[in-house]
Copies of this chain bind each other. A is one copy, B any other.
């Protein structure tokens, strides 16, 4: 049962000495948010890479509940760290470029002051006398460390899970101290379900007869059974159901042999017994109680109003990502934060990464090709050096570029008449939201033209990565679900380019674009073009609007078919004003002036409501 494929990333790392750790003893008393005071605090931290001359390349990493300062190996023979796959020379968080700081958190048990530390007042471990701490207290200690290192402004703060709560706190409380923040697989507060699991875990520790009201350090024994129960429960919640099926179903009734006083009858049982037993060797039950309570008390905004108020205080750039199979910090919780940021008009990117790895995904390499590149691009953008700012050709290792917009585009060359036309229709300096922005070609061109407030909405994961590599802010969303997070008239222009015909809920999408944008620019293929009329009328067959792209009636991405007249009728019925229509014959590469509903194959309309 020591097959590493069965082990979560931070397992099996017994409490080893931290050879490269620094310690900072802070003599200044720390007043705690929930009352009480720690007269002195030690912080154990590790650093990677070099702080540059203008001290602008520092990245603070915040670890999750059971992590520590050892985020990565320092040398080839060093112990592995908890995020080796993402932190190191040339890696996503590139220690050749950035100065990485990772402190053990307040309340932890790996160097930084926590319940197992000596209480200077008594000369004994704090135990249950360790006060209730909050994520705010943890972050305050981190802030003092950053001060001590002489860093006025961090390039970024990055953290997942409980570390994500810390990142959120940095961004909303110390916004002047960082350029960007990446809260990962996290939430504004736990779901009641996730909180309930924590409660059960703490109850198992609290009612373990060896807990001794938290003063077990001198008993030679601790609440190891309770801690193991809590840890088993934790492991279930870190994995996805699919992931557990893959790991355990084939050998369900043939568990490996594990020496344990816990049940080892099923393969998943022997795994949990092993994890539970091992955890007590490296972690302190009081720290578990303290940190899980800090997580449960975290409340950036359990109500939308409170969340909106919190994010309104931020003044940095945001990247969030979640994982589709994470049910402990489910994606909708990241989306709530993204929605609040959008409503507050903050620069934000977001991707809900398709994953089978559950909450643990951000620690595993399965989805690193996506989340690592998001982080790499985000840090590059914060440094002011996007990976490939304008090129339509991707950098090395990236995905090949798509057509500018949706796969239904009727254009397939480099020259895009409709696309040139849209750029021409956008006033200089206008703020622009591009619905279905693809890899961001249109927005990148606008950025090069000097537009400052630009944002894209896109569904495809790799296109979002590409957008970030171009220096853009792109949020993943399904247009059919609407744009509820956006405020009225939030953008000067909202673009819906070659996308209208692919959405099912046309009324909602158009309604929303004209609520959010002062003006909308819509382009669509014209069903009444003479070729299409001819095909139906004379040949008796369905028009092949995107036949050039190889599609037929039964497999086209298009699900809505309209003529220029239909669009005009629609606008009249819905009270939409058409300010301008540009009709194009893209085959002849020209604008059409006469009888556009017959001669144009594409129409571009500037509209408002």
| A residues in contact (CB < 8 Å) with B | 189, 191-193, 195-197, 199-200, 202-204, 206-207, 209, 225, 228-229, 232-233, 236, 239, 241, 244-245, 247-249, 252-253, 261-263, 265-269, 272-273, 276, 293, 296, 299, 302, 327, 330, 504, 506-507, 527-528, 532-533, 536-537, 539-543, 552-555, 559-566, 569-570, 597-598
Contact = CB atoms under 8 A, between A and B. Distances in A.
Contact of A203 (B197, B229, B563): B229
A561 B537 contact: no
Nearest to A526: B540
B561 A542 contact: yes
Contact of A200 (B233, B249, B504, B527): B233
Contact of A542 (B200, B236, B245, B562): B562
Contact of A327 (B196, B241, B266, B504): B241
22 contacts: A189-B252, A192-B249, A196-B232, A196-B269, A196-B272, A199-B265, A200-B236, A207-B229, A207-B261, A209-B209, A252-B302, A253-B299, A327-B327, A506-B554, A532-B536, A533-B537, A536-B536, A536-B537, A540-B563, A540-B597, A553-B560, A553-B561
Contacts of A273: 203
A46 to B, nearest CB: 34
Contacts of A540: 528, 533, 563-565, 597-598
Contacts of A261: 207
B232 A200 contact: yes
Nearest to A206: B263
Top 6 A-B pairs ranked by shortest CB distance? Answer: A506-B554, A559-B559, A192-B248, A537-B537, A528-B540, A192-B244
A193 B244 contact: yes
Given A199-B266, A268-B199, A504-B559, A541 B569 contact: yes
A36 to B, nearest CB: 17
B570 A542 contact: no
B263 A202 contact: yes
Q: By CB atoms of chain B within 10 A, which of A229, A273, A540, A569 has the most?
A: A540
A196 B565 contact: no
Does more than half of chain A's interface fall in helix, strand or loop, or is it mixed?
helix
Contacts of A248: 192, 195
Nearest to A564: B540
Contacts of A225: 207
B559 A199 contact: no
Given A195-B266, A225-B207, A233-B233, A507 B554 contact: yes
Nearest to A539: B565
B528 A536 contact: yes
A138 to B, nearest CB: 19
Contacts of A204: 204, 229
A482 to B, nearest CB: 15
A299 B266 CA distance: 13
B542 A527 contact: yes
Contacts of A561: 542, 553, 561
A253 B196 CA distance: 13
Given A191-B245, A533-B536, A266 B202 contact: no
A554 B560 contact: yes
Contacts of A542: 527, 561-563, 566
B203 A268 contact: no
A36 B233 CA distance: 33
A358 to B, nearest CB: 10
Given A199-B263, A232-B200, A562-B554, A247 B192 contact: yes
Contact of A565 (B200, B541, B543): B541
A507 B236 contact: no
A566 B541 contact: yes
Contacts of A233: 200, 233
Contacts of A207: 225, 229, 261-262
B196 A268 contact: yes
B236 A196 contact: yes
Given A193-B241, A207-B225, 7 more contacts: A191-B241, A191-B245, A195-B268, A204-B229, A540-B564, A541-B563, A552-B570
Nearest to A231: B200
B559 A553 contact: no
A552 B504 CA distance: 12
A562 B542 CA distance: 6
A296 B229 contact: no
Contacts of A299: 253
Nearest to A245: B192
Contacts of A253: 299
Contacts of A553: 560-562, 566
Contacts of A266: 195, 199, 296
A562 B556 CA distance: 12
A10 to B, nearest CB: 19
A564 B541 CA distance: 8
Contacts of A565: 539-541
A314 to B, nearest CB: 24
A266 B330 CA distance: 20
Contact of A541 (B202, B302, B528): B528
A209 B189 CA distance: 35
Given A262-B207, A268-B196, A302 B506 contact: no
Q: By CB atoms of chain B within 10 A, which of A203, A252, A507, A542 has the most?
A: A203
Nearest to A553: B562
A207 B192 CA distance: 27
Nearest to A507: B554
A65 to B, nearest CB: 17
